[in-house]
Amino acid sequence: MIQQETRLNVADNTGARKLQCIRVLGGNKTFASVGDTIVGVVKEALPNMPVKKSDVVQAVVVRVKQSLRRPD
């Protein structure tokens, strides 16, 4: 589960490598899981890419360590 101040690894090719969650979008949610949208700040980025360090971005959570319980 993702909450505020959580450090995340980025799984796409925008150039960002590490992200810190600022806010979980969607009402009064405090935790995000797979499929939820978050607002984050880029903490580590590759040079010469569109996303720079300290940019504020929106992201979708695609993977978490906690196992995902799916209905039968």
- Model pLDDT, residue 17: 97
Per-residue pLDDT of the chain (72 residues; tens, 9 = 90+): 899 999 999 999 999 999 999 999 999 999 999 999 999 999 999 999 999 999 999 999 999 999 988 888
Q: Which residues contact 52 (CB under 8 A, 6 or more apart)?
A: 42, 45
CATH 2.40.150.20 assigned to domain 7-60? The reply is yes
Q: Find the angle CA(5)-CA(32)-CA(30) to the nearest 5 degrees.
A: 65
Cα dihedral across residues 6, 27, 52, 16: positive or negative = positive
Is the pTM value of this prediction over 0.75?
A: yes
Domain ranges across the chain: 7-60
Q: What is the longest distance spanned by two Cα atoms in the chain?
A: 46
